[in-house]
Structure formats: structure tokens, C-alpha cells
Amino acid sequence: MTEPIIYELSAPGRRAVSLPVLDVAPSDLPPTMLLRDGLDLPEVSELDLVRHYVHLSQLNHGVDVGFYPLGSCTMKYSPKVNEDASRLSGFAATHPYQPEESVQGNLRLMYELQEFLKSLSGFDGVSLQPAAGAQGELTGVLMMRAYHQSRGDARRNVLLIPDSAHGTNPASTTMAGFEMVELKSDARGNVALDDLAAHLSDRIAGMMLTNPNTLGLFDQNLPQVTRLVHEAGGLMYGDGANFNALMGVVKPAELGFDLMHFNLHKTFSTPHGGGGPGSGPVGATVALAEFLPGPIVVSETTLLDAVTGERLPEDVVDGEQDMGVEGLWYRLWMPRRSIGRVKSFYGHFGVCVKAYTYIRMLGAAGLTDVSRMAVLNANYLQAILKEAYPLPYDRVCMHEFVLEGRVEGAPDVRALDISKRLIDFGIHPPTNYFPLIVPEALMIEPTETESKQTLDHFAETMIRIAQEARENPQLLHDAPVNAPVRRLDEVRAARRLVLRWEG
């Protein structure tokens, strides 16, 4: 099953869209040397176009198609109402430079979302601007840098990062001009306290910690870790990728984190979009909030016109107070010592609308249930699957867990083979080969929205694959056979780069 490239459907002179005729007198075009010669875009009808993309969509697996236990990505079901909400024309058709009086609805939504995230995390300030988790991280590291510099402590340029961390953490560190030191994990999957203590010094800017970590484990040494880092003058950055396990369960700020990013696309069901757009707001304690990127939204109590809800001009407020009613007015504001903006405008507003919708529909108790059930589902699968696959860290997990993709009696079968075989059963494989500290890692995150039936079916399939591995390993090496394509030649792709249609 393959679909032609859109260019292969093209026929000269065909077109999908009609446009209005020019209703003004044409002007002279600029000099020819400024104009282009040809433009090689495809020429297709609207029907060709629709069929092409419908066919392509059918070659894809999404949460709406089937189970997607991709660890650390929180592939939960995203309510359809989110999609409708962000498409309301009052939101979708507003320009970022409109005057604030014409976008009070947008500003209020952003303000409320900032407040919601503060409530859930315990932080004192939130900026919605970062575009994704990775950008949230860069933001956090730059804020740590700005904080230390503001205190005349510019020597602090080393970040501590556990060996279980996402690759993004070290990459963000380098981008901010910092150095990293990797910390070891102990036998139970926590940060090794002796290794931490050995690396603390007056050059430490702070530590980046994912909690629960990428093994799906809540760091049991966390209170000691934050205390040690703070005593050394460092800051604690929380990677909020795994916040789906913590809503209503703990507030990161109370645990000693100074700042953290959220992943709205993971935790707050915005959804993932095939790899973006995400959204990575950053929360910070009072000591760091003034360094947040901006603008952020602030509110003030003021007098509003009783009929229109517009803010009354100062002179009216002074003279005829009885015309107005007291109300909230929202405006954009740059934090006092901001690191600056990390992108244009105010963040992924359309994504924020979806997260707002989700939080409003669930409330505090509902979100706590989300985390409770995410943890329950993971532990249920872990309890069943540890009988079929090695579980390197055997303890109660949070929202995900990591197995070794190895089967006793099938020495040639690797995590990759197990994953590819899952595809034949219509299940998206877990995250492979991460975290690096577990050989042949299979990182499984079921999420809270999956039913017991789905989990049971997945567990049965995994057990069946373990059996196949022993009895007929070739089945696994050849897999997938039921997917649109067989295994793809990645070496060829990298050696003979074809990065665009070449006709």
C-alpha cells in the first residue's frame, strides 16, 4: 500500500481553489529582476487533494486509531471539544497586535490558564510563551543564568543532570552556554546521593530533574536532593514532561523545585499533532518569576462601562464614578527582568485554548483522578508484564515503567523486534532504547484514558510475542508484515540523502 507523491498527481493547468477577481486597478509590477521565473508547485483538483490526504492519513497510527503506549509522551485521548473550542472564530481569527480592548476574551483565557497552572504546581508565576517542552527547558536554563548573574554570581555555569534524563536536557544546557555534569542513578533508580554530593560546588547553577524520572519512578531521595542543591546555592529545575502522574498528588514547588515547564500537549490533552504544535509554559517561584519570558498576562481591578464592559478612560473614572462597575481588565506585561521573548507573540494560544477547556471540564478532583488512574494503569500492566519480561527496577511505578526487551530462550530477539511485531497487531510500540541506563529498554506509558480491556489485550499480545520469540523468532525479525510498509532501510536514507521530490 503506497500513495503517490502529490507531485506525481499533478497535471498542468489543474487547480483546486478559486479566488476572487481583482477589484481594483492593477499597478505596475516591480522591475523584472525582482520577480521570479517559475514556481514548481503541484497542480491538482480539490478531489485529488482530498483523496491524497485521506489515503495518507490511513497510513498513520494515532490515539484515535489504536493503543499508543509510547513512554514519556503521554498519548492520552484528547476530547473532541478541545478541537471545536480552539476553532471558535472569536479565538482563531484574532490578530496578535490587536488593541487590548479588542481581545479581552483571549487575555482572560490566558490569565486564567496561568492561574490554573499555578494552582496545580504551587508556583508564583507562569509564562505561556514557550512553544514546546524543549523551549521551556531552554527558558528555564536561561532564567537560572539570569538569576545567578543578577546576584553577581556569574561563575555558576554548571548544571547537574541525571543519567536517566531526556537528551533535551543536555542540549538545552549547551544552548544556554552552560556545562553539564552527568549524575549516576542508584540501584533503585533514584539520583545517587553520594554522586550528587561529590559534584556540588560554588560553580553549580542548579540541577535539572525529571520527576517522576524516565524510569517512571518518583525519586525517593527528592527531599535530600533539593536540600543539597539549595544548600550549595543551586536551583532546582523540574522537567514537567511527566506531570501527568502528579496532578493533585503533589505540587512541585512544595517539593523544592524553583521552576518547571509543563507540556500542555502531553498532560492537558491538546493533542500531539503528529509532532507539534506543543506548548511548554514555564512556572517559577517568586524569586525567579521576574525573569520569566514574556509578555505574560496580568489583571487589574478597574472601572468598566456598565453596558459595554469597556474600560472607562481615566478622566471619566475621576469625574463620573457612577457610570462604571468594578471589574477585571487584562493586559500584556513584560516581567521586570525578563530573559526576553523566546518566540514571537505570546505562545501557542490555540493550544492554550484546548488546555483551558480540558482543565475547566475536569476540575481539581477530576485532574487528581487522571493522575491516580494513570498510575493505576501503569502498575496494572507492570504487574502482569514483569512475569514475561525483565523489570530492572521492581517497585511501584508512577505513570509509566521500563521493561527490558529481552526474552529468555530467545537470545537474538531485541527490543526493536518486539516493537516491530507489536505493529502487526495494530499497537504502537513503546519508546525504544530509552532511557539509556536500561539495556534494550521498552518504556511503556498506557495513560489513564485506556480501558482494562485495552490493557489486557496489550498484555496478552506482549506475552504472545514473548512466546513467539522462543518458538519462531524469525516472525519477529521479519515484522512488521501487516503494516503499509515493511522495515525501512535507514542506512540507505542517511547515505543517499533524498530530502525532496526530485521527479
Partner 1 sequence: MGYLPHTEDELRAMLRRIGVEHADDLLLASVPRAYAFPEIDLPEPVSEMEIMTELREMSEANTDLQRVPCFLGAGAYHHFVPSVVDHVLGRSEFYTAYTPYQPEMSQGTLQAIFEYQSMICALTGMEVSNASHYDGATAMAEAVIMAISVWRGRRRKVVMSPTIHPEYRETVRTYTQGMDIAIIGDYSLGNDIPALVDMVDGDTACLIVQNPDFLGRILDLSGLAERVHAHKALLVVACDPISLGMLKPPGDYDADIALGEGQPLGNAISYGGPYIGFFTCKKRYVRRMAGRLVGQTVDAEGKRGFVLTLATREQHIRRERATSNICTNQALNALAAAVYLAAMGKSGLAQVARLCYHKAHYAANAIALLDGYDVDLAVPFFREFVVRCPIPVADLNQDLYESYGILGGYDLGQVYPELEDHMLISVTEMNTRQEIDELVEALEGIVR
Partner 2 sequence: MGVQVDPECLYTETHEWIRVEGDYGYVGITDYAQEQLSDIVYVEVPEGGDAFAKGEVFCVVESVKAASDCYLPVGGEILEVNGQLEDSPDLVNTDPYGEGWFVKIAIDDTDELDDLMDAEAYAEFAEQAEEEGGP
Partner in contact with 331, chosen from partner 2, partner 1, none, beta carbon below 5 to 8 Å by kind: none
| Binding site partner of 187, from partner 2, partner 1, none, Cβ cut-off 5-8 A by kind | none
Interface with partner 1, residue 353, by CB under 8 A: yes
Q: Name which position in 231, 254, 322, 326 contacts partner 1 (CB under 8 A).
A: 254
Q: Judge contact between 104 and 305, C-beta under 8 A.
A: no
Contacts with partner 1 by CB under 8 A: the residue count is 204
Letter for the amino acid at 74?
A: T
* Alpha-carbon span 83 to 271, nearest angstrom: 9
Least Cβ distance, residue 283 to partner 1 (angstroms):
14
Residue type, 306: A
For CA atoms 135, 67, 440, 386, the dihedral sign is: positive
Residue 187 near partner 2 by CB under 8 A: no
- H/E stretch holding 162 reads strand 158-162
Does 54 interact with partner 1 (rule: CB under 8 A)?
Answer: yes
Q: Which residues contact 476 (CB under 8 A, 6 or more apart)?
A: 413, 417, 418, 420, 421, 465, 468, 469
Stretch that binds partner 1, among 215-223, 225-233, 315-323, 437-445 (CB under 8 A): 215-223
Q: Interacting stretch for partner 2, rule CB under 8 A, among 265-273, 304-312, 403-411, 490-498?
A: 490-498
**Closest to 261 (Cα-Cα) out of 86, 121, 445, 113:** 121
Task: Kindly state whether residue 491 participates in binding partner 2, applying the rule CB under 8 A.
Answer: yes
> Residue 488 interacts with partner 1 (CB under 8 A)?
yes
Binding mask 225-254 for partner 2 (x = CB under 8 A): ------------------------------
Phi, psi dihedrals of residue 214, rounded to the nearest 5°? -75, -5
464: left (phi over 0), alpha (psi -120 to 50) or beta: alpha
Alpha-carbon distance values, 252 to 180, 259, 292, 412, 467 (Å) = 23, 9, 17, 43, 42
298: Cβ contacts below 8 Å, ≥ 6 apart: 111, 330, 331, 333
- Residue 319 binds partner 1 (CB under 8 A): no
- Range in contact with partner 2 (rule: CB under 8 A) among 188-196, 230-238, 444-452, 486-494: 486-494
Residue 305 contact, options partner 2, partner 1, none, Cβ 5-8 Å cut-off depending on partner type: none
Binding mask 148-177 for partner 1 (x = CB under 8 A): ------------------xxx-xxxxxxxx
Residues 184, 201: Cα–Cα separation, whole Å:
17
Q: Does 499 bind partner 2 (CB under 8 A)?
A: no
| Residue 22 or 491 with smaller CB distance to partner 2 | 491
Looking at the Cβ atoms of 452 and 496, the one nearer to partner 2 is 496
Per-residue binding letters, 30-49, with partner 1 (x by CB under 8 A):
xx-xxxx-xxxxxxx-x--x
Residue 498 binds partner 2 (CB under 8 A): no
Total residues in contact with partner 2, by rule CB under 8 A:
5
Query: How far are the Cα atoms of 16, 35, 42, 185, 324 from residue 39, in angstroms, in the given order?
Result: 16, 11, 9, 55, 58
**Considering CB distances under 5 to 8 angstroms, the limit depending on partner class, which of partner 1, partner 2, none binds residue 443?**
none
Closest-CA residue to 219 (of 192, 199, 240): 192
Contact positions with partner 1 (CB under 8 A) in 86-105: 86-99, 101-105
Report the amino acid identity of residue 346. Answer: Y
Q: Which of partner 2, partner 1, none sits in contact with 46, Cβ below 5 to 8 A by type?
A: partner 1
| Tally of CA atoms within 13 A in the half-sphere of 32 that contains its CB | 2
Q: How far apart are CA 273 and CA 140, in angstroms?
A: 24
Tell the smallest beta-carbon distance from residue 413 to partner 2 (Å). 18
Smallest gap from Cβ 472 to partner 2, in A, equals 26
**The binder of partner 1 chosen from 67, 69, 73, 443 (CB under 8 A):** 73
Q: Report the alpha-carbon distance of residue 318 to residue 312 in Å, rounded.
A: 10
Please identify, among the stretches 192-200, 249-257, 283-291, 463-471, the one whose residues bind partner 1 according to the rule CB under 8 A. Answer: 249-257
Binding test (CB under 8 A) with partner 1, winner from 113, 235, 284, 339 = 339
Q: How far apart are CA 12 and CA 77, in angstroms?
A: 42
The reply to whether 490 sits near partner 2 by the rule CB under 8 A is yes
When CB distances are held under 5 to 8 angstroms depending on the partner's kind, the choice from partner 1, partner 2, none that residue 206 binds is: none
Nearer Cβ to partner 2, position 180 or 463?
Answer: 180
Taking alpha carbons only, the member of 426, 403, 407, 402 closest to residue 417 is 407
Sites of contact with partner 2 (CB under 8 A): 490-491, 493-495
